[in-house]
Amino acid sequence: MTGQAERRIALIAAVDATLAVEFDGDGAELSRRWLPAGELSGWVAAREAEGPVRWVIRTAHDFLPQLLRDGVRVNRIHDLLLCHAVLRDTAAVPHPLPASPSWVRREPSDDAPALFDVVDAEDSGASAEDVLDQYRAQLRVIEEAEDGRLRLLCAAESAGALIAEEMHVAGVPWHAQTHDEILTATLGARPPGGGPPRRMVELAEEIREHLGDRSLNLDSQPKLLRALHRAGVLAESTSKWELAEYDHPAIAPLLEYKKLSRLLSANGWAWLAEWVHGGRFRPTYVVGGVVTGRWASSGGGALQLPRALRAAVRADAGWKLIVADVAQLEPRMLAAMAGDEAMAHAARGRDLYAGVVESGAVSTREEAKYAVLGAMYGATTGDSGRLVPRLRKVYPRAMALVDDAARAGEDGGVVSTRLGRSSPKPSAHWQQLQSRATDADAGEADVAVARRRARDWGRFTRNFVVQGTAAEWSLIWLAEIRHRLQQLPDAATAAPASALFAHRAHLAFFLHDEVILHVPEEQAEAAAAAVREAAAVATRRLFGGFPIDVPLDLRIAESAEK
DNA sequence: ATCGTGGGCGCG
DNA sequence: AAAGCGCGCCCACGAT
């Protein structure tokens, strides 16, 4: 934060121009001017150069693509759509934001307008008065939380929106040749005339032979299941967990086939051709796409890249990757949120699960892992469910926090993250089920169904507080990383990696608790330090002085391969 | 032909 | 080795 006062300028899109309205901290208008289409980027860049500005915009995607295309980066925004969702649902203040349909993000991809979508001033947004009124209303809610939680949450959410747009433009450096080599080594060569690769053809032949059905379509679940039954494998499904239980010569090649088939269909040559261009994979991130505050993605399965392909994430010549993730972020958040000193003590150092074992609650690391995950997810059966009660003895405060969250959900209530993002209310249908079950003439079946749905929702709210707070930590981490990278000077030696980030370290990928940076070689150490400092700041912003370790696994490398 | 759904599996 | 949270995507299949 600089000491200089922050200017606030709203940008409102119209047909061929943009209206820029500057206003003061009380929302009073100071000036207003129209910027013809060709002048927006230059004008914005000039205002940025004068000192800190917060750009108030309907949503990042309205302006950032064009600004970034023109090589202009801004430092702070307020994304009204994203903050509307947060402030409308928050239970952190007595008077949350009134819901307004015009400030709800439209679900069908706002990325590319459909062919016949009319994008006019009315459709793409709102009048200047609408924008200013909405921003003022949001500020009132933000101010109502005297501890600044909502201010931090909205700033972090907005920074995320900005970073998501920048990462889309930057892309993940992707080495197509490495990807192709992995595919060929795993799946076998592609036949010149098309069709499945060699290794899959061989496996399919082998499986059909063992199952005695020469024309079996292995990709049809019902047909495969019937063939397995005929061969004496009486599985109820064709999932790999279940199949692995059976002893039959077809099983091993079948499991291998399913693995290869998945790789081919999800991230095979077709994926490579569709999603990697010019050495970059450009996923579209959907900030706040998950109710807990996590990001979702659309296109290319960005958040499901298989580990086997990580070797294809490779820095450009003269550049490096910083690959960093947090080990066991969620239980660490839980310990800190609950102020559970004992659990925080177990979390000291790299491996929280080892600490849980040392506490005497369980005897092996595996048990610790299942117990902790079971506590956060609400496991009731299996080994995980059996281990959870042991944690209640050792970490009563942490367990009380998640147990209370679950109870609130079962009762139809709302729970909140550390910064005040609140869970949605259960659906009207859910509430009907519950009230019907309490009627005098409710049947046993009604009661059972209601009970089950109540527990389902309780597991959701139990996890919400933990997953959502972890998402907040990660957003602040991201924002602080970007802030520090902005302070680094341009690198002198590295070849330009892209037009926008020619000589600059930049964020390239984000996945819940992990980041990948693409950085000029000479700045690798400085960028790594930025990532570490940012993590420390995120922890302090969320939990003040509470002593919780959030250690990073960080390496500087050519590729993202483990 | 096109759409919605469920099984299955990748990620955290 | 599983079942307990959150996702997106591919495929086959049945309904339209």
Question: Which tens digits make up the pLDDT trace of A105-122?
Answer: 875 444 444 333 333 334
* Torsion from C-alpha of A304, A307, A311, A312, nearest 10 degrees: -20
A138 & A237 share domain: no
Question: Which is more confidently placed, A408 or A115?
Answer: A408
On whether residue A478 sits in a domain, the answer given is no
A63 & A190 share domain: no
A29 & A158 share domain: yes
Question: Which is more confidently placed, A5 or A395?
Answer: A395
Determine the Cα–Cα distance for residues A252 and A197; give it in Å rounded to an integer.
Answer: 19
Give the per-residue SS3 of A385-419.
HHHHHHHHHHCHHHHHHHHHHHHHHHCCCCCECCC
Nucleotide B12 C1' to residue A464 CA (A): 14
Residue that is written with structure tokens 């003439």 in the block: A441
On whether residue A517 sits in a domain, the answer given is no
The whole-number average pLDDT for the span A127-131 is 90
Q: Supply φ then ψ for residue A209, to 5 degrees.
A: -65, -50
- Tell me the pLDDT tens digit for each residue of A296-353: 999 899 999 999 999 999 999 999 999 999 999 999 999 999 999 999 999 999 999 9
- Buried/exposed code over A474-501 (b: 16+ C-beta within 10 A; e: otherwise): bbbbbbbbbbbbeebeebeebeebbebb
The total number of structural domains in chain A stands at 3
Check whether A97 has a pLDDT greater than 90: yes
A253 & A340 share domain: no
Question: Which is more confidently placed, A82 or A438?
Answer: A82
Q: Which of residues 298-337 of A touch strand B (CB under 7 A)?
A: 303-308, 325
Last residue of a domain, one of A131, A149, A170: A170
Find and list the nucleotides of strand C having atoms within 7 Å of a protein beta carbon. 1-14
Nucleotide C10 C1' to residue A196 CA (A): 15
A385 & A245 share domain: no
Last residue of a domain, one of A170, A196, A218: A170
On whether residue A372 sits in a domain, the answer given is yes
Q: Which domain holds residue A233?
A: 178-271
Per-residue model confidence (pLDDT) at position A125: 56
Assess contact for A75 and A99: CB atoms under 8 A.
no
DSSP state of A129: H
Per-residue model confidence (pLDDT) at position A109: 43
On whether residue A310 sits in a domain, the answer given is no
The whole-number average pLDDT for the span A173-194 is 94
Q: CB neighbours (10 Å) of residue A171? A: 23
Residue A266: pLDDT band with limits 50, 70, 90? very high
**Element housing A553 (H / E):** strand A552-557
Per-residue model confidence (pLDDT) at position A175: 97
On whether residue A520 sits in a domain, the answer given is no
A388 & A352 share domain: yes
CATH of the domain at A214: 1.20.1060
Structure tokens at A76: 């702070």
3 state SS of A147: coil
A152 & A193 share domain: no
A351 & A375 share domain: yes
Find and list the nucleotides of strand B having atoms within 7 Å of a protein beta carbon. 6-12
On whether residue A166 sits in a domain, the answer given is yes
In A318-392, beta strands by DSSP E: 319-326
Long-range contacts of A408-415 (CB under 8 A, 24+ apart): A408/A458, A408/A461, A409/A454, A409/A457, A409/A458, A409/A459, A409/A460, A409/A461, A409/A462, A409/A464, A410/A454, A410/A455, A410/A457, A410/A458, A411/A454, A412/A457, A413/A461, A414/A91, A414/A461, A415/A461, A415/A464, A415/A465
Assess contact for A34 and A18: CB atoms under 8 A.
yes
Closest amino acid to nucleotide C13 (CA–C1')? A220
The whole-number average pLDDT for the span A449-459 is 94
Q: State the pTM of this model.
A: 0.95
Q: How many helices (H) and strands (E) are present in chain A, helices listed first?
A: 20, 14
What radius of gyration, in Å, describes the C-alpha atoms of chain A?
26
Return the axis-axis angle of helices A198-211 and A176-187, rounded to nearest 10°. Answer: 30
- Tell me the pLDDT tens digit for each residue of A205-249: 999 999 999 999 999 999 999 999 999 999 999 999 999 999 999
Closest amino acid to nucleotide B11 (CA–C1')? A304
A59 & A18 share domain: yes
Check whether A140 has a pLDDT greater than 90: yes
Last residue of a domain, one of A446, A469, A492: A469
For A101, residues 6+ apart whose C-beta sits below 8 A from its C-beta are none
Nucleotide B6 C1' to residue A262 CA (A): 17
CATH of the domain at A339: 1.10.150.20
Determine the Cα–Cα distance for residues A162 and A293; give it in Å rounded to an integer.
Answer: 15
A372 & A390 share domain: yes
DSSP state of A490: P
Nucleotide B12 C1' to residue A557 CA (A): 22
On whether residue A300 sits in a domain, the answer given is no
The whole-number average pLDDT for the span A355-376 is 95
Q: Which of residues 198-217 of A touch strand B (CB under 7 A)?
A: none
- Closest nt to A220 (CA→C1')? C12
Determine the Cα–Cα distance for residues A345 and A350; give it in Å rounded to an integer.
Answer: 12
Q: CB neighbours (10 Å) of residue A393? A: 11
A164 & A229 share domain: no
On whether residue A127 sits in a domain, the answer given is yes
A145 & A9 share domain: yes
